[in-house]
């Protein structure tokens, strides 16, 4: 079921939940959303900018966890919808949609599966879909098609373009450079790593799983003596490590992990 909290002239919070709220839970939610009331209607008129129904936002994940910590059960999703003027609305169409009214179907996704396409001309399909496959990769895929004795499908070619992309494989950064006929000893990636090799300083780990750690300060930890049962708290000195993030996605994965997939 769907419930709306907020003001149609400014902002609406839409909740997807599996059970009806008690009066106590309803008051908790009204307080959580800034002392706004729950709307009686299942339809909210006006224009709103909100997330695509197919994409649960990181904000929603955090909001649902907060309600769970507050003892409100049965909430599966919470999203924000900002009131706007249809004529002047500006938003990122990759992540958001302009809605003409909100209703109980706001999170209902109805998409029939697309038919599987067999690709006759991989080069033409590459140009049509902007997959950025090189001539060598297209030649390789044509060879795979001959070896399998069948045409490759659209999903197979698209999947290859992503798995074998510069981001995943670092084809250019890890590639062998031949300049004026002379093969260079180091790739671009090796040159980047050379700084940390020669001057590790406080680096504990780098260039592994998209994250790096450096030595942190000695810290005082206040925690239970044992972690698997109820126990007294005690204070201990621990060595800490600081996590650093340097990822090539458009969105930093440490902060918004779900949006990473939007960059695909």
Over 70: is that where the pLDDT of 249 sits?
no
Residues 109/46, Cβ–Cβ less than 8 Å: no
> 50 exposed, middle or buried (CB, 10 Å; 0-12, 13-18, 19+)?
buried
* pLDDT band at residue 227 using 50, 70 and 90 as cut-offs: confident
CB-based contacts of 59, cutoff 8 Å, min separation 6 = 79, 80
Mean per-residue pLDDT, 107-124: 92
Over 90: is that where the pLDDT of 212 sits?
no
pLDDT for position 243: 84
Over 50: is that where the pLDDT of 250 sits?
no
> What is the percentage of the chain residues whose pLDDT exceeds 70?
91
Residues 133/126, Cβ–Cβ less than 8 Å: yes
pLDDT for position 255: 44
Over 60: is that where the pLDDT of 167 sits?
yes
Over 90: is that where the pLDDT of 210 sits?
no
Residues 75/17, Cβ–Cβ less than 8 Å: yes
pLDDT tens by residue, 172-181? 888 888 999 9
pLDDT for position 259: 52
* pLDDT band at residue 253 using 50, 70 and 90 as cut-offs: very low
Over 90: is that where the pLDDT of 71 sits?
yes
pLDDT for position 86: 80
CB-based contacts of 237, cutoff 8 Å, min separation 6 = 218, 219, 220, 221
* pLDDT band at residue 258 using 50, 70 and 90 as cut-offs: low
In residues, how long is the chain? 264
Over 50: is that where the pLDDT of 52 sits?
yes
Q: How many CA atoms lie within 13 A of 50 on its CB side?
A: 25
Average pLDDT across the chain, whole number: 88
Which residues are paired to 213 by β-bridges?
Answer: 205, 243
Over 90: is that where the pLDDT of 68 sits?
yes
* pLDDT band at residue 47 using 50, 70 and 90 as cut-offs: very high
Mean per-residue pLDDT, 133-158: 95
Residues 131/161, Cβ–Cβ less than 8 Å: yes
pLDDT for position 245: 64
Residues 6/30, Cβ–Cβ less than 8 Å: no
Residue at token pair 């930093």: 252
């Amino acid at each position: 079921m769907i419930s709306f909290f907020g003001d149609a002239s400014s902002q609406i919070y839409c909740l997807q939940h599996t059970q009806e709220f008690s009066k106590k839970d309803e008051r908790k939610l009204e307080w959580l959303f800034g002392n706004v009331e729950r709307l009686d209607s299942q339809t909210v008129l006006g224009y709103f900018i909100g997330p695509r129904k197919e994409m649960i936002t990181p904000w929603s994940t955090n909001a649902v966890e907060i309600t769970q910590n507050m003892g409100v059960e049965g909430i599966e999703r919470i999203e924000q919808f900002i009131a706007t003027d249809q004529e002047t609305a500006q938003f990122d169409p990759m992540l958001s949609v302009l809605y003409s009214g909100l209703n109980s179907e706001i999170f209902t996704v109805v998409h029939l599966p697309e038919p599987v396409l067999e690709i006759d001309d991989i080069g033409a399909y590459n140009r049509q879909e902007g997959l950025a496959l090189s001539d060598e990769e297209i030649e390789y895929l044509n060879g795979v098609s001959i070896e399998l004795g069948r045409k490759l499908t659209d999903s197979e070619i698209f999947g290859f373009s992503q798995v074998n992309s510069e981001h995943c494989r670092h084809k250019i950064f890890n590639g062998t450079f031949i300049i004026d006929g002379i093969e260079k000893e180091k790739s671009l990636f090796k040159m980047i790593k050379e700084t940390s090799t020669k001057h590790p300083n406080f680096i504990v780990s780098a260039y592994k799983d998209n994250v790096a750690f450096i030595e942190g300060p000695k810290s005082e930890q206040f925690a239970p003596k044992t972690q698997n049962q109820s126990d007294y708290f005690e204070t201990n000195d621990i060595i800490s490590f600081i996590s650093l993030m340097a990822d090539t996605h458009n969105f930093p994965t440490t902060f918004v992990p779900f949006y990473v997939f939007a960059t695909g």
